[in-house]
Chain A
Amino acid sequence: MTAPRTLYRKLVDAHTVQRLSDDEVLLGIDLHIMNEYTSPQAFSGLADSQRPVWRPGAHLAVVSHVNATRRNGPGDDDAALLIRTLEDNCRTHGIACYSLKDARQGIEHVVVPEQGLARPGMAIACGDSHTTTYGAFGALGFGIGTSEVEHVLATQTLVYTPLKDFRIVIDGPLPLGVTAKDLAIRAVAEVRAGGANGYAVEFAGAAIEALDIAGRMTVCNMAVELGARAALMAPNQAVTDFLKGKPQAPTGAEWDAARAAWQGLASDPDAIFDREIVIDAATIAPQVTWGTSPDQAVAVGGTVPDPATEPTPARRAAAERSLAYMGLAAGQPVAEIAIDRAFIGSCTNSRIEDLRAAAAVLRGRHVSANVAAVVVPGSNLVRKAAEAEGLDKVFRDAGFEWRPAAGCSMCLAMNDDVAKPGERLASSTNRNFEGRQGQGARTHLMSPAMVAAAAVAGRLADVRNFPPLS
Chain B
Amino acid sequence: MTPVSLIEGTAAPFGQPNVDTDVIMPKRFLKTVTRAGLADGVFADLRFQADGSEAPDFILNRPDYRGAQILVVGDNFGCGSSREHAVWGLAQLGVKVLLGTTFAGIFFDNCRRNGLLAVTLDSATRDALLARVADPAQAQLTVDLPLQEIRAPGLRAGFDIEPARKQDLLTGADPIAQTLTHAESIRRFEAEAFAAAPWRRIVVG
Contacts and interface: CB of A to CB of B under 8 A. Distances in A.
Contacts of B109: 144-145, 148
B145 interface: no
A121 B20 contact: no
Given A145-B110, A315-B17, A18 B185 contact: yes
Contacts of B26: 435, 439
Contacts of A66: 31
A434 B15 CA distance: 16
Given A85-B33, A257-B198, A317 B16 contact: yes
B182 A143 contact: no
Nearest to A33: B204
B89 to A, nearest CB: 13
A26 B179 contact: yes
B199 A254 contact: yes
A14 interface: yes
B104 interface: yes
Given A119-B200, A155-B180, A227-B104, A194 B76 contact: yes
Contacts of B162: 23-24, 161
B33 to A, nearest CB: 4
A18 B179 CA distance: 11
A247 B109 CA distance: 35
Contact of B180 (A22, A82, A154, A248): A154
Interface in B168-204: 175-176, 178-180, 182-183, 185-186, 189-190, 193, 197-204
Contact of B16 (A20, A145, A318): A318
A261 B23 CA distance: 44
A147 interface: yes
Interface in A181-210: 193-194, 197-198
Nearest to A21: B164
A49 B176 contact: yes
Given A28-B186, A147-B110, A157-B186, A127 B82 contact: yes
Interface string B72-98: 001110011111100100000000000
B16 A439 contact: no
Given A127-B82, A151-B176, A193-B76, A121 B197 contact: yes
A38 B82 contact: yes
A151 B174 CA distance: 10
A30 interface: yes
A193 B30 contact: no
B198 A58 contact: no
Interface string B10-31: 0000011110101100110011
Interface string B102-117: 1111100110011000
Interface string A24-40: 10101011000001101
A147 B84 CA distance: 8
B53 interface: no
A231 to B, nearest CB: 12
Given A129-B81, A227-B104, A431 B20 contact: yes
Given A30-B200, A159-B178, A257-B199, 16 more contacts: A28-B190, A40-B34, A55-B190, A78-B31, A81-B33, A119-B199, A127-B82, A156-B186, A159-B175, A193-B76, A194-B76, A229-B105, A247-B205, A414-B30, A435-B23, A435-B26
Would you list the 10 A-B pairs with minimal beta carbon distance, nearest first?
A194-B76, A78-B31, A57-B203, A145-B84, A40-B33, A147-B113, A145-B110, A258-B199, A229-B105, A96-B204
22 contacts: A17-B189, A26-B182, A37-B31, A49-B176, A57-B202, A122-B199, A127-B82, A129-B80, A145-B82, A155-B186, A157-B182, A161-B162, A197-B102, A197-B104, A227-B105, A257-B198, A257-B199, A318-B74, A412-B22, A433-B20, A434-B22, A439-B45
